[in-house]
Amino acid sequence: MGSVVEMTGVVKRFGAVTALDGLDFEVAAGEVHGFLGPNGSGKSTTLRLLLGLLRASAGSIRVLGLDPWREVATLHRRLAYVPGDVALWPNLTGGEVIDLLGRLQGGQDRARRGRLLELFELDPTKKSRTYSKGNRQKVALVAALATDAELFLLDEPTSGLDPLMEDAFRGCVRELRAQGRTVVLSSHILSEAEALSDRVSIIRAGKVVETGPLEQLRHLTRTSVTADVAAVPPGLELLPGVHDVVVTDHRVSAQVEPAGLTHLMQALMTAGLTSLTSQPPTLEDLFLRHYGDIAAGVPAAAIGTAPGGPGSPGRGGRQAGDA
């Protein structure tokens, strides 16, 4: 199985604004791929390009081996899309919208449609006008998930869903993966991508800055270690790869790079270790590293869609010691 999505050097300009600035993005067949980035980083623009709703200013795009701009109908028969901002016809019922979208898609599985309605506790007889944001989202999700698509492009699919429904949605995605379908899941909710994704790509100011399995990306960040010891040994902060050491009485906490773990553990064991908690880096940490600018006080407006936005001053320094 090759790549389902291949984007190389894709540039998308809207007038003077460059939304995507040489974006490379690749999704392998059969994986659930998390597409992460904050608001305005170009996630929705990327997905719309994959659908042929927008036309790339430069670069090449292949989806399921097809050109989404030229072979749109053939392509769309094989994929399903949930827009980030679900707008429904106010005077059609949810059921009517689901069936319409399903038929336009080229057919949906009636049994699965029924199951999904039950799973998401959606009343299909209500006029779309009366649906809440979460319920509108469910309409789009049911319409997409009830089809037999090979590729699912889901733009922030859980926005507006409550935690129970989010859980139901995760079940659906796992089912899709078990059936060998490919899912691209854009999100700024890290726990969602973390729970579902085989691989993630992080987009920032119109470029994919990091791609890989979560485990691999985690190597790039530090583990948070907290330990109780009989006597705190001196000079812990001097160990290579150990940062932010805080000592209170018998408790030590520190941020540790993968390369520094061995040194720290050796030092702690000789100091009479009584308790140890270690937390793997979360996607939050990954994210913070790429958007460190925000934490560092750079106004958020300067990031977003701004072409070639500010660099990431947090990167180089904190990454010292990477293999």
Partner 1 sequence: MPETLAGTGVLIRLGLRRDRWLLPVWILGFALIAYSTALAGAELYPDTASRVEASTVLNATASMVALFGRIYDPASIGALSLIKYTAFMTAILAILMVILAIRHTRSDEETGRLELLGGGRLGRDAPLAAALIISLGANVVLGLLSAAALAAGGLPAVGSLAFGLGWAATGMAFSAAAGLAAQLTASSRAATGFSISFVAVTYALRAVGDLAEPGPSVLSWLSPIGWNQQIRAFAGDRWWVLVLPTALCLVLVPAAFVLRARRDLGAGLRPERPGPAAGSLAGVWDLAVRLQYRVLLAWVVAFVVFGVVIGTLASNVAELLASPNAQDLIKLMGGQQALTDAFLAAEISIMGVLAAAYGVSSANHLRSEEAAGHTEAVLGTAATRVRWASSHFVFALAGVASLLLLAGVSIGAGAAAAVSDPAVVGRSTVAALAQVPAAWVVTSVALAVFGWAPRLAGAVWGLLLALVALGEFGVLWNAPEWLMDLSPFRHSPLLPVGAADMPALVALTMAAAGLAALGYSGWRRRDLAA
What is the contact surface with partner 1 in residues (CB under 8 A)?
14, 48, 51-55, 72-73, 76-77, 80-81, 83, 85-93, 95-101, 103-106, 123-127, 129-130, 140
Cβ at position 230, least distance to partner 1 in Å: 56
CB closer to partner 1, 31 vs 99: 99
CB closer to partner 1, 125 vs 248: 125
CB closer to partner 1, 107 vs 213: 107
Cβ at position 106, least distance to partner 1 in Å: 5
Cβ at position 10, least distance to partner 1 in Å: 14
Cβ at position 53, least distance to partner 1 in Å: 4
Measured CA to CA, the distance from residue 12 to residue 4 in angstroms comes to 21
| DSSP alpha helix (H) spans, 159-206 | 163-178, 190-196
CB closer to partner 1, 123 vs 175: 123
* Distance from chain centroid for Cα 115: 26
Cβ contacts of residue 316 below 8 Å, gap of 6+? none
Specify the long-range contacts of residues 195-198, CB closer than 8 Å, at least 24 apart. Answer: 195/170, 196/32, 196/34, 196/170, 197/32, 197/33, 197/34, 198/31, 198/32, 198/33
CB closer to partner 1, 15 vs 316: 15
CB closer to partner 1, 72 vs 247: 72
Cβ at position 256, least distance to partner 1 in Å: 45
- Do residues 219 and 35 make contact, with C-beta atoms less than 8 angstroms apart? no
Measured CA to CA, the distance from residue 111 to residue 205 in angstroms comes to 42
Q: Which two tokens stand for residue 251?
A: 């408790």
Lookup result for tokens 């072979």? 71
SS3 state at 260: helix
Cβ at position 68, least distance to partner 1 in Å: 11
